[in-house]
Amino acid sequence: MNEQAFLERVARRLGRAEPLTQRPARDAVGAPAFWRDYQLSADERVAKFAEELGKLGGQVDVCDSLAELKERLRRHLQDLGPAVVGVWGRRALAEFELDDVLAAYDVVVWGEAPAAAAAAATPAAGDAAADAGSAAERRALVERMATANVGITACDYAVADTGTVVLLSGPDRGRLVSLLPGVHIVLIKASQIRTRLGEVLAELDALAGVRTAADGTRADGGDASGGSAAAETGTAIVAGAEAGPPRWPSSVNFITGPSRSSDIENDLTIGIHGPAAVIALVWRGR
């Protein structure tokens, strides 16, 4: 069958006399209005997130205070008995005041060079020497993080509808903390949980300075039908300067449950390309 015959056959199946010669008008862009309007209350979002992550094999503890969250974390660490714990940089976790919980463990802090590497990187003149020292420290940090049994991070967003957590990378928010250890413990404030993934995408656009037009399309050609008021009314959502390329972090990670991998025969393996277990501690009311 040649191309024209194939297209004619498709047209007939669609009830058309002949194939179209021009692109049809698109009367919908992005998610339909009923989905953009779908919202859960704060308590419903927490409950839905716990339900969805639980379906994926994750564990969710909902805590009513910081003291309860820290006690749950302490118990999880006691049960897991990790030799090494990897954590985001101290500024990224400062709000959770974890120093007393982690005091009993060998902790690798992302963004802080291991002591041995720092001692070995003796000062030397010139930018090249400084760069070499920095590279050696980073290599040592990555090697130490690879020994961590548990990784502890905060998050930037969570999605109730899918049980997803969203992590933006940064200097003290390394991707490897949530990737290399066998267990990922993520600390979530209830206010960070959104109902739908589209809400998160729209907020990420705003953070990056992406402009959104009235039809929901973005200046970079994407689709910003996430559901924020700005995206839905067509208001330009811009963070910082009005001109210039989008200011994305080096990585935005969407993590939905423990790592799952399967081959063509559908043999499922847990924990091959990431943590085999995900534990979420949700601080309700925060």
pLDDT of residue 269: 86
Q: 202 and 227 in contact (C-beta within 8 Å)?
A: yes
Ranges 7-11, 110-114, 256-260: which has the least confidence: 110-114
Ranges 13-17, 174-178, 228-232, 234-238: which has the least confidence: 234-238
Q: 51 and 272 in contact (C-beta within 8 Å)?
A: no
- Separation between Cα atoms, residue 74 and residue 226, nearest integer Å: 37
Q: How confident is the model at residue 62 (pLDDT cuts 50, 70, 90)?
A: very high
* Strands annotated E in 22-100: 59-63, 84-87
Secondary structure class of 116 (helix, strand, coil): helix
pLDDT of residue 151: 97
Instruction: Give the residue with greater pLDDT, 104 vs 133.
Output: 104
Instruction: Give the residue with greater pLDDT, 247 vs 147.
Output: 147
Q: 167 and 178 in contact (C-beta within 8 Å)?
A: yes
pLDDT in tens, 92-104: 999 999 999 999 9
Secondary structure class of 34 (helix, strand, coil): helix
Residue 127 has pLDDT above 70, yes or no: no
Residue 145 has pLDDT above 80, yes or no: yes
Tokens (6 digits) for 106: 């060998």
Residue 235 has pLDDT above 90, yes or no: no
- The average pLDDT across 147-151 equals 97
The phi, psi pair for 49, rounded to 5°, reads -60, -45
For the chain, the domains span: 42-112+149-260+277-283, 113-147
Residue 71 has pLDDT above 80, yes or no: yes
- The average pLDDT across 232-257 equals 61
- State the chain's mean pLDDT as an integer: 84
pLDDT of residue 241: 40
Instruction: Give the residue with greater pLDDT, 5 vs 24.
Output: 5
- Separation between Cα atoms, residue 40 and residue 130, nearest integer Å: 51
pLDDT of residue 112: 85
pLDDT of residue 16: 92
Q: How confident is the model at residue 40 (pLDDT cuts 50, 70, 90)?
A: very high
pLDDT in tens, 177-211: 999 999 999 999 999 999 999 999 999 988 877 75
pLDDT of residue 231: 34
- 42-112+149-260+277-283: in CATH 3.40.50.10420: yes
Q: Parallel, antiparallel, or unpaired for β 260-262 and 277-283?
A: unpaired
pLDDT in tens, 253-274: 999 999 988 878 888 888 888 8
Instruction: Give the residue with greater pLDDT, 114 vs 233.
Output: 114
- Separation between Cα atoms, residue 164 and residue 256, nearest integer Å: 4
